[in-house]
Structure 1
């Protein structure tokens, strides 16, 4: 048996290598050349060579149109007069085929027309025919391209990951700075709002005389509440959070910080102060100290009572002007207990329990001692 592409017939091997004859009786292979037929001593498919025996090596002639060539002749034994000549064959082209089924034995190939006009088992894309190995081999540039591509994608993914990581960190830091600036701006706006409220220049002369409430500058309030720290926060009021504070003299105070969206103004603030003093039964604290010696306590309490009735949240609970006049005209009238003023947000006064309503002040019929 001789290896491919050497051929002993039209149906064996490659037709271009049809230069051999096989004696089926003696199983002797012969090489046919223009100078004669020579016995083949051995065939080495790894080196693509075979040895032929010649009587006179000078008479050996080869057909140079065929893929065979001779090497340096060798004499293996001085006792034998027969010379052996080594013949090498060139790597073959793709196998000739007449149907796709013939190429099934050749991996990664398909039967197509070649440049020489013959149908051959041509290698598929990214594969190249290797005549020495007699098979279709993956082209090195494809492997190299895959390695470069995978490496490039890996590097790109690593760079992208690092970039996204740094960008997210920078974005979080920027968002943190923006949040801090927003908090500082909200605090500044709140402080400006509070400052506008407590600034004495905003009070009219009658406002300053109408209620005896101590005023503090913004710096004192910030010091007392530790810059409105969360540790000092007591809860949420109708118009903003309430903070615990301590004055330099050690007195503890509660400070309401109006929220930015708060619509509470000076009038509502005075209503709230009046309501707190009313519910704490300290109505006379509303009075200016300079008037306590000349003011009639019952009449003062009556005025506060009527005033709180007129600012109740539910308009239906407020007295008419005619009723207000009657309240002032009748000295011994038992006035109703007022409900909370309108500045309390989100409370349905019609559903308030009796515990939310302060008891009627008996000072309307009894004489109160001024302080």
Structure 2
């Protein structure tokens, strides 16, 4: 009996000790759990607060960005411009290019190792070849001449600028290649080549009826308007001419050759250079004589192209035996005599719309006026060409009216005596 009491007492004591230990354990755990929960609550509260601040900042940034798009675009333009102005086109620069890289091996296979049968033409910076890739895709490949400083500049300009431009009247850059001394640009293939190959060929020009020519003029104007005003980057082409306008299978015009183009940032619309580059016959007088160029410089070149398209003759090769006049001067003479319709290319006389033709003559002469402040912007040009009811202003006498005489042409050491003579000399050099 005594033994059972001892055993019962011992059992009760053990249970009491166990309960006491559990209580002590709970006293120790509860603060830890409470502290942990408080830390979690604080972290979650901090997360919510940071998220709220982040959302508010994102909203502020969104509003700021919406109200300051021009600044962001200018910053983007500045980085592109820095790349273009750099001395070398480094390997790291490929990261900023928005078109694919083609290896030399694939290009050699596509052009039959640059076979003469694949050659489309020869430009100032190198030959252009037709390439056919697997699947039948046709691409025009411009192979820049090695060792040409201008070729390198053209390459950097085109591969960076054109990749960022998207418009139906601008040629599309599809890719590029840099391997060793080889630098190549890959464009969409234009089966009808350039505008000048049709316009100044007395056999092919008959394929350009009036409707096609008017659509070409309007398309070029719309392409320039995009470059000057509607694209993310404001571009001055600086070398617009009939040979830099390509024609697709439906004879739609596409502006190409951006090697001499200049990009403007922010609200900049004009600049000056000491190195005048471009093609004589299409250069505005303020650019040719003073190195000053702007959107009006492209407008001047466009005016020359318009007069060439409707007349069918090149400004550089124009000659009238009875008059020492440039094409611009001849167009002006007919205009002031009320005989502007006589400027029409004889091959389109039957298909010509007289009202549209006279509108083109008027716009062309407005664009080639001597003072750039008198010349219209491309937005005005597009409006005047596209509206049958638009009131067009009367043009003033254009630049480069009189060509240099034969006697003065033979005396290359004679210094021009006046600004007009200098302008005539430049015109003759075209």
Structure 1 length-normalised TM:
0.26
TM-score (ref. length: structure 2): 0.23
Greater relative contact order (Cα < 8 A, sep 6+)? 2
Decide which structure has the larger Cα Rg and report it: 1
